[in-house]
Structure 1
Amino acid sequence: MSESTDRLAGGPLPPSNAPWLVEIGGWIAFVGVAGLLLYRWRKNGQPDLAALLFIGCFTMWWQEFYADWGAYLYYNPDLAQLPWGASPYTTPNKPVYVLAGYGWFYAGGFAAVLTLFRWFRRSYSSVNYVLALVITVFIPFMLWNFVTADGVSYVTNWFQYLESIGPTIHTDKGGLQLIYQGISLSLFAVAVVVSLDRRDADGRPWFERVLGVRPVITGWKQRAHQIVAWIIGMNILYGVFLTLPLVIARILFFPDNPWVPNP
């Protein structure tokens, strides 16, 4: 770590700036998106892709604090906290606002990159499939995370990374990681887009097929079955491509930290 990062790790973060943006504004965005999706669900008689993504991605929130531990992410303790408390392999502070972000951040980001990917494939069908994913999903999602999460929080002190891994902007506030966590996050985004693009003959993504969701849904029990499948599918993808790699990498290769300590 740099000397400035050492100073940051040696004590709590400076007071957060404009916490109402996430603690109030984040939930306003969450309710607004949920309301719009519910309206379209009732109008069309079925949830659309955005609604299923919203539900599935929201239920991933519990993994956030394990992935944060792996990335040495430390939330400002002056934010409203969940009644979770300390537990092994999790970042010590667990703010409530994170839950709202799992509604709008992932559902909005995935809807955007999936649309971009499908447009690109129609317009440039000769481009290699993997290269198309890199251009339209991997890179845009890394930028989406950097602008809406890491970059904003670096300025507002909502959270900071207390270890610098890989390319980092070093300032008197510490280190702003450019790609470390973003790589796993973008690989997760690619896995989601591939799962939604590569469907079976009945139009089902792999997790619907594996969990036995019917191709044609006719009742609320079958709809609930589909929703459960999306919850399980999104959590598996998140765990495999983001949470577990960050936790395992830290355990095997990276040092302890006084503010995001080892168990």
Structure 2
Amino acid sequence: MSTAHALPRMSRSWTPGKAALTLLIVAIAVAAAFPLAWMLLTSLKTPQETMQVPPVWLPASPSLDAYGQVAGVINLGRSIVNSALIATLTTAAIIVTSLMAGYGFAKYRFRHRDKLFAVLIATMFLPPIVTLIPLYRIVGYLGLNASLAGVVVPNLANAFGIFLMRQFIRGVPDDLIEAARIDGASELRIVFQIVAPSVLPAIAALTLFAFVYHWNSYLWPLTVLQGNTDAYPIVISLSRLLSYNRGAMNTGLVMAGSTLAVLPPVVLFIFLQRFFVDSVVASGVKG
């Protein structure tokens, strides 16, 4: 009996290899989280503490004054609402179009399907700067310059999203789809009531990727909005904090604005992390 109980304990014991791997993981995690921690701590420091050499790691008397000053330099509330509109509308459109196109590529058989999919995948390798001018001209022809619609419309579909949905939807049983068709379900109902729940982890992962990317997008909104400061998202408005900064006196102000800007993506990740990990595990098993 004692031997049987000892074996599981031995299998869970620490070895030098496991200890080294754990230390490496902890070091990598600390290195990745350090900029965020430094940003948050600096936002709580006084201007004098941000200028000290060597740097002060922890504020002596944490203060939220910098957060209150941010709204006096930029239109914080309007900028966050603009970013939320851009990221939310674009992400929702990407989810819908990726589901429908991914379903078509995965479950329909039509002429030149694979060639069309290959062309679609090829567009993923184009640098965004290559399509900047053509998209800008198209937005101008549509009369959407200097508006949030001009930022959103060119991003309603995404090649990576279609690819991701297609790969996961291929794993949905054909018999399940055929049974729904026999019951009289339309194709749209099949996509959103049968296929979508089956690929929920992939939808969560795509939601996270798309939201974070378009929340942090800088060059395209700056190009389209053309100085319409009322429509600026938060990442562009933050550049005004950098120009407002003189030396190190207002470093805390810049860090406070940056902290507020990263909060929505972080909150979204915390909410979706379980589905995100499930999607990674599922893709690894399928691979």
TM-score (norm 2): 0.28
If each structure's helix is expressed as a fraction of its own residues, which one has the higher value?
2
The structure with more radius of gyration: 2
TM-score (norm 1): 0.29
If each structure's strand is expressed as a fraction of its own residues, which one has the higher value?
1
